A = this chain, B = another copy of it.
Amino acid sequence: MVLDLFQDVATLTAQLMDIESVSGNEGPLADAVEAALRPLGHLEVLRNGDAIMARTALGRAERVILAGHLDTVPLPGTPGSRGTVPSSWDGGVLYGRGATDMKGGVAVQLALAATLTEPTKDITFVFYDHEEVEASKSGLGRLVREHADWLGADFGILLEPTNGTVEGGCNGTSRFHATTRGKAAHSARAWMGENAIHAAAPILERLAAYEPATVTVDGLDYRESLNAVKIHGGTAGNVIPDACVVEINYRFAPDKTPDDAEAHVRALLAGFDVVRTDAAAGARPGLNAPAAASFVAAVGAEPKPKYGWTDVARLSELGIPAVNFGPGDALLAHTDNEHVAAEDIRTCLAALTRWLG
């Protein structure tokens, strides 16, 4: 399929959605994107696996990265779902897998790549694979490792869905196992054992009583959360349980490192065996960087904090202040009836064209 990057950006979105690209199957879409970008004389194009980068080299004072992922989560399993492939229209609303997450954003990137032959800032467009799966497979992570020279910039925009507002930075996330141990015994002689599930009561009490903080970072209010996400204990209906594990997920504001977050959880659960099993740093919104400030002014909407972890954290690790800004409602992402309003995609394109044109 040949992509027409100059057509209406919502129609282009539908065209992108009709090329199924569930994580691991980004090849056909990456081929189409590469084929559409190669003829554009003002761009240098690089392909790496199923990721593509394209950049201007106009010697501008500032460089901006516009990034988006090509993959989607799997197609809906429920018969009759409209958030599937191919896409379909209902009035001005486009239904299908990737509508919000994030082929609308990718269409905006492609339209800007085609039409902004002389942007006011140099631009690096990044289209990557494997965002919706484990972090170790991330196409953006691979590009950072293999083409770090392409990933220098003063500011980054990730076109993840934010309903057209600017969402700055992101919370970090860490997981922990809090484990209690007891002594197994037949439950008919319970006094010969020690009940590890009963011993977990104070862990749940402290989590239930915990009041999560809201932390202001670079002017944005990050709302934290700290939750048991899983619990399991016990082996049989007639045995006093000798172990109970509470899995905890802490979403922490970007004023904290993962080590800070771990210290916080350890203090809350003092006296218990706590092991960190996973950690990803957050990202400060960086809205005080000049490029960020001018972008926010151009968009004209009040910036908000991003609660979920996104790839802006990878850009942040490279020292690039970055925000999320894209069409569609993030709450519709991954749902069976994923959809986006055509007008939202056009509005997003217009805002970026205004700022970069």
> Measured between alpha carbons, how far is A307 from B225 in the docked complex, in Å?
46
Q: Which residues of B contact A230 (CB under 8 A)?
A: 197, 233-237, 241
Assembly of this chain: how many copies?
A: 2
- In this assembly, does A190 line the interface, its C-beta being within 8 Å of a C-beta of chain B? yes
Question: Which of the segments A137-145, A198-206, A295-303 contacts the partner chain?
Answer: A198-206
Instruction: State whether the Cβ of A246 lies closer than 8 Å to any Cβ in chain B.
Output: yes
The answer to whether A186 touches B238, judged by C-beta atoms less than 8 angstroms apart, is: no
Report the count of interface residues on A (CB-CB < 8 A): 47
* A114 located at the interface, meaning its Cβ lies under 8 Å from any Cβ of chain B in the complex: no
Kindly identify which residue among B223, B229, B309 contacts A191, using a CB–CB cutoff of 8 Å: B223
Q: Are B228 and A231 in contact (CB under 8 A)?
A: no
Chain B nearest CB, measured from A193 CB (Å) = 9
Chain B residues positioned under 8 Å from A190 (CB to CB): 212, 225-227, 251
Residues B233 and A175 in contact, CB atoms below 8 Å apart: no
The one of B212, B227, B231 that contacts A231, using a Cβ cutoff of 8 Å: B231
Residues of B contacting A251 with CB < 8 Å?
A: 187-188, 190
Contacts of A212 in B (CB 8 A): 190
Out of B207, B231, B240, name the residue touching A232 (CB < 8 Å).
Answer: B231
Binary interface profile of A, 319-331, with partner B (CB < 8 Å = 1, else 0)?
A: 0000000000000
Which A residues are within 8 Å of any B CB, using their own CB? 171, 173, 175, 186-191, 195, 197-201, 204-205, 207-208, 212, 223, 225-241, 244, 246-247, 249, 251, 278, 307-309
Counting from the closest, the 9 A-B pairs by CB-CB distance are A230-B234, A190-B225, A201-B204, A198-B208, A188-B308, A197-B228, A188-B307, A201-B208, A187-B249
